Structure formats: C-alpha cells, structure tokens
Structure 1
Amino acid sequence: MDSRQMRYFVALAETLHFGRAAARLHMTQPPFSRQIANLERELGVQLVERSSRHVTLTQAGERFLADSRAVLARFEDACRDARLVAEGQKGELRLGFMMHAAHRIVPQIVSCYARLRPEIRVVLLETTPAEIEHRLLGGELDAAITFAGRPFPRLRTVPVITDHLCLIVPSGHPLAGRDSIVPHDLETEELIAAPATVAPILREAIAGYFEKAGIVPRFRYEPQLQHTIVRLVAARLGVALVPASICDEAVVDVVPRALVAAPTLKVVLSVPVDSNNPAIAPLIDIVRDRKEPAAAERPVTRSRR
C-alpha cells in the first residue's frame, strides 16, 4: 500500500462515483476500479458497497477515510517542510557567541534573522572565545560570533564590526574624571582581565597595549566572563580594559573612559566551510548587509553612575 492508493480511495469517498473519481485523478475507470479492489484486498476489509446506481462507504471505509485524510495531510506537511528546509526557510540554526557580543551585536542580528526567517528555530549558545572554534569544528555550532583570530582553512569568516578597547573604573576613581587615558596612567593600577586560555585575542590586545609603552601590566583577578569583570570593577577590586561594545548601557558604579590609541578588535561571524545547513545563508546575508558604525568610531567618554 502507498499514498497513491489512499488518494484514490479519498477521491472515491468524496465523489461516491467510480467514473467521477477516476476523472478527477485523470484516469480511466477500469484501472481506477482495480486500484480500489487491490486496496481492499491488501487491507482484508470491504471499504465500499457497490451497486449499479450507488456507492456507499462501509463503517470500515468511514474510518479509513478519516485516517487517510490525516495521513495525507501529514505527508503534505512533510513534503512542504522538506522543501522549506532545503530553501533555508525552516529548520534550526545553532548560533554561538562570546559574551562580548551579547550586549548589542547578537540581539540586533537575531532580531533581524527572526523577522526574515520566522520558522527557523534559533538556538543560542553563549560560550567563551576559546571554545567557539572547537565547537564549530566539532559540529556543535552552525555559526558563531567571535573575535577574528588566526586563519583556519576549515572556517570562513564574515566581518561584523571593528570594536576597540576602553577602560572601565569604579565611580569616584581618580581616572573617572579624565577624558582619555594613556598607558602610563595605568602603570600602578591592578587590572582585571580574562585569562589567555579563555579569550586569547582579547588578552593579547590588552597585553600588547601595555607592552608598546614598555609597561608590565599588573593582573590581579582573571575571571572567565566579561560580566564578572564589570562587577568586580564596580566592587572597587581593580580596573579593566574591555571591548567598548559592552559599554553601550549604563552600569551602576562603573565609569567607562576612552583610551588614547586604543587597540582594535575585529568581530566576525565564523562558519564551517563544509556546513550544509541552508539556514546559515540568510544569517550571512544579514551580517554582510548590516549597516552599523564600527565601535571604534564611537568615543566612550561620558560618566555612567
């Protein structure tokens, strides 16, 4: 038995006439009648009662009609869904991102994607930059927003923004009233930063900022998450150099300040080269078409208390 036989029976049940049912399916009556007879033989039950003038459904036929309609409807849904998934209109997209992107970049991109592809389920996974490459190559993620790092032949990247480092200090700190900061202003400050094992690109940018000035930075605390770093600064346990994009919103007891010759950080969308998920293509288009000033172009100078 296959779906065609169900369609034949539904046509007969809806017309209660072999000739009209056959015509609906662009068939002649004899082969159509044989198909119904074959169906009854395979099922081992009588579905219709035939007479020279009337065709009526048996009780078994009534039940088979309801079930056939349900099966055919699900079959049509399955065919439609398969086409939509192949076209990138439906399915699932697993998007990873570092916490630095959670403040502004990810909400904007995901909001745009949801409007463009409402039937695609977006699974968000916040993780550390060091984990993102591993998860992409391991098939756990379809795409990820992270810092641009060393080129990797199995990954392709699309630029998102150019971010830059800024300084955050506790409110009332001596540097809170300065419009801009140079490395020597931080020579005696205790710093809070994620370790290189967690955010290697970010840690390299911070270390390089001091190295160019001939200063050895004094790292006191090394939490993994950027949110924790901000809270530790608010608790007056040190100062931190962080991506300016996370300073878009006011944080109580934390004041951002611009750095002179601030190091820049390129943020990219990273995607496995061999991925066959059609849901990725619309995401790439959104990122490429996205119009936003680079974070490095927006000075961070105002106090946020």
Structure 2
Amino acid sequence: MHRNSQSRALPKDVTSALVGRHLLATPEWNISLRSVWHSIVAAEQLSFHRAASVLGTDQSVVSRKIRALEDQLGVSLFERNRAGVRLTRAGKEFINQAKSALSDLDYAVKSARCAGNGSRGQLRIGFFCSLAAGFLRQLLVEFARAHKTVTIDVSHGAPRDHIQQIRDRAMDIAFFTGHPELPDCDVELLWHERVFCVVPEGHPLGSVEAVDWSRLRNETFIVSHDEPGPEIHEYLIMRLATVGFHPKIRRLAVCRESLIHLVAMGFGLTLTSESTIATPFRGVMFKPICGQTDVLPCVGVWSPANDNPALRRFVSLARALKTARAAARPE
C-alpha cells in the first residue's frame, strides 16, 4: 500500500465541510468521519503508532477514536498485539466499504463546490447572429477554453422564442440585435456590427468600396419570411422609403444561407450583418453600407433571477471582452 504521509491526511474538502458532522443521523448509529479515517490509516499502516505519525497526532488519540468506533459498531475492527495491529474479518469488510464511501463523499463535496462557483455545470446560450466571426465567436471560444468542465449548449433561433425560454429558465442567455424593452430581463449592449449589402459578382456595385443608399433605391431586395427577414424588411423601409416611393422587396420562404445563394443567382440583393461576411459564399460580394448610422447594436439578454454561477462568469467575461475591444479600437 502507498505509505506517502501526505496522502494520509483526510481530504481537505471532506475535512473542512464535514468533520464534526455525521454521515447519517439515525437512532441506530452516529459515527464521526474522523474516527473512520483514523481506522483506515491504521489499517494501512498496521500500527496505531505509525498511523498517529502519519496523521500528525498522538497514538492515544488514534487508539481512543478507534476504540470508540468499535464500541459504536459493536464489533472489533483490529486484533492488537505487541507487533502492531491487523484487521479482523469484520474490520476488513468495514474498511473496504468505508474507503469507497469516503471517496464518493469527497467527490460529492467537490462536485457541489464546482457547480456552486461555476467551474462545472451547464450554460445554455441562444443566438441569432452568425458565429463565423466577431464578438460572440470570440466570447464562446475564450469561455470554453477557460471553463472546460462547463457544458455549453447553443441554440440558434428567433429572439422572441429565446426570450420566452429565458423567462421559463430553459435558457441562460441570448444574443440578438436591437434594443428590446424587457422590464423583467437584464439587457446589456455588448457590441456593434456594420450592415453589409450582398450583391452578385458582376453587379455594378461590385466595383465600389462602400454602398450609398441612394444607389440602392432602384434595386430589388429579397428577404426571408422568417427571422431576420422581417427585421431586414423594416430596415430597408426605414432607409429607402419616401413619400410616393416604396422599395421593391420580395419575401421568400428560405433560410439565410439559401437567400445569399439566391443573390448569387441574380434574384436580387439582400442585407446582412458584419459577422456573416467571414463565411465564404460563391458568386457574391459583401459591400458595407457607408452611412454612419448603419450599425446594429447587439445585446445580451438574461434573467436577473437566474443564479447559475456559470452564467455570472460568462457575463463577466463578456463585459471584459467588450472593454478590451473598446480599448483596442483606434481613435
């Protein structure tokens, strides 16, 4: 058996949290964990004297605690002689089971503490933007690298669905664009993304560095029926519609990826956010809109009643990343 004295001390997590308490409190027995641990060390050392040396206490203390434990159990755990001690049949059975129980208990204490401080657990994240590049991608990568024991579940979907899941405690935090009014949730602006126009290769706008809205008035736009189609539709109306003029916008029952492929096929132009442009799409070009106000606020939303420690750590990292990116931005 291993006789390293450092390994013989009662595990710190068990000692600090449970010594002086009881494994169970029943009318039948009431056993001290320290007495059990003294017996385990004595069984490994085959000597009360050596066990006392390993434990950093007096032999009389070890002998007294083991004798009290035997009295409580109603059996002898050790045969004592001048050469030392050895386990009885009942002692072998007890020590084997006690080792397993203490190991399980130590693991339970450590697991509870990890879950309580956010170093282990689960984090459920909803998002609607692209993860190809940008703030959210960096945030997820850095958090996952720093918290390898936290299981991260991500869900792509519409903001309205994610907000309800946050209220139902089925999701911890969600990210989307805009400034939603949610009195029952914490909403924090974390980053901005520029708006880009998606044009097919060979289009006249492909030769310009940035696109002005005046050059888009006579273009046909395509948007999806589902999110973010309605949001893009509203954005186009806000930027292009005037008295007596309404932009040409077609709503199609396709996903965002298919929409960009349809742009390449000549069905029309569309808009997207900055994080999307890192994804390679054949046959299209991404041109920034040159208006200074054409940036999208991106927020994180969570419930203030959510006590998930992993969420608190995630929000703290998001705030730190926001500060770092702001400091690195050129004046």
TM-score by length of 1: 0.81
Cα deviation 1:254-297 (Å, max 9, x = unaligned): 11123242532101122211110111122222221223369xx9
Instruction: Determine the structure 2 residue equivalent to 1:86.
Output: 116
Instruction: Determine the structure 2 residue equivalent to 1:272.
Output: 303
Kindly tell me: are residues 79 and 20 of structure 1, through their superposed partners in 2, closer, same or farther at Cα, counting changes over 3 Å? Answer: same
Instruction: Determine the structure 2 residue equivalent to 1:228.
Output: 258
Instruction: Determine the structure 1 residue equivalent to 2:66.
Output: 32
CA distance, structure 1, for counterparts of residue 177 and residue 158 of structure 2: 10
Q: Give the number of the structure with larger relative contact order, counting CA–CA contacts within 8 Å between residues 6 or more apart.
A: 1
Kindly tell me: are residues 129 and 20 of structure 1, through their superposed partners in 2, closer, same or farther at Cα, counting changes over 3 Å? Answer: same
2:135 is matched by which residue type in structure 1?
A: I
Kindly tell me: are residues 157 and 259 of structure 1, through their superposed partners in 2, closer, same or farther at Cα, counting changes over 3 Å? Answer: same
After the TM superposition, which residues 26-65 of structure 1 pair with which residues of structure 2 at under 5 Å, given as runs?
27=61, 29-39=63-73, 41=74, 47-51=77-81, 54-59=84-89, 61-65=91-95
Q: CA deviation at 1:53?
A: 5.3
Instruction: Determine the structure 2 residue equivalent to 1:105.
Output: 135
Please identify, of 123-132 and 188-197, the stretch whose mean Cα deviation from structure 2 is larger: 188-197
2:69 equivalent to 1:69:
no
Asked whether the equivalents of residues 126 and 173 of structure 2 are also in contact (C-alpha less than 8 Å), the reply is yes
Kindly tell me: are residues 208 and 69 of structure 1, through their superposed partners in 2, closer, same or farther at Cα, counting changes over 3 Å? Answer: same
Q: CA deviation at 1:21?
A: 4.9
Asked whether the equivalents of residues 179 and 299 of structure 2 are also in contact (C-alpha less than 8 Å), the reply is no
2:319 equivalent to 1:288:
yes
1:274 is matched by which residue type in structure 2?
A: A
- For 2:224, what is the secondary structure of its paired residue? coil
- For 2:325, what is the secondary structure of its paired residue? coil
CA distance, structure 2, for counterparts of residue 110 and residue 78 of structure 1: 28
Cα deviation 1:197-228 (Å, max 9, x = unaligned): 65654443233122368642322233464323
Kindly tell me: are residues 22 and 95 of structure 1, through their superposed partners in 2, closer, same or farther at Cα, counting changes over 3 Å? Answer: same
Instruction: Determine the structure 2 residue equivalent to 1:301.
Output: none
Compute the RMSD of aligned alpha carbons.
Answer: 3.2
2:300 is matched by which residue type in structure 1?
A: L
1:94 is matched by which residue type in structure 2?
A: R
Please identify, of 19-28 and 238-247, the stretch whose mean Cα deviation from structure 2 is larger: 19-28
TM-score by length of 2: 0.75
Please identify, of 3-12 and 80-89, the stretch whose mean Cα deviation from structure 2 is larger: 3-12
Please identify, of 209-218 and 128-137, the stretch whose mean Cα deviation from structure 2 is larger: 209-218
Instruction: Determine the structure 2 residue equivalent to 1:136.
Output: 166
1:179 is matched by which residue type in structure 2?
A: E
2:157 is matched by which residue type in structure 1?
A: T
After the TM superposition, which residues 170-185 of structure 1 pair with which residues of structure 2 at under 5 Å, given as runs?
170-185=200-215
2:284 equivalent to 1:243:
no
2:139 is matched by which residue type in structure 1?
A: I
1:234 is matched by which residue type in structure 2?
A: A
The 4+ residue runs of structure 1 with deviation greater than 6 A are none
2:37 is matched by which residue type in structure 1?
A: R
How many residues matched? 292
Cα deviation 1:45-69 (Å, max 9, x = unaligned): 7643345654212455435434432
CA distance, structure 2, for counterparts of residue 60 and residue 171 of structure 1: 83
Asked whether the equivalents of residues 48 and 62 of structure 2 are also in contact (C-alpha less than 8 Å), the reply is no
Kindly tell me: are residues 258 and 107 of structure 1, through their superposed partners in 2, closer, same or farther at Cα, counting changes over 3 Å? Answer: closer
After the TM superposition, which residues 255-270 of structure 1 pair with which residues of structure 2 at under 5 Å, given as runs?
255-261=285-291, 263-270=294-301
Please identify, of 30-39 and 72-81, the stretch whose mean Cα deviation from structure 2 is larger: 30-39
Instruction: Determine the structure 2 residue equivalent to 1:155.
Output: 185
Instruction: Determine the structure 1 residue equivalent to 2:222.
Output: 192
Asked whether the equivalents of residues 183 and 210 of structure 1 are also in contact (C-alpha less than 8 Å), the reply is yes
- For 1:29, what is the secondary structure of its paired residue? helix
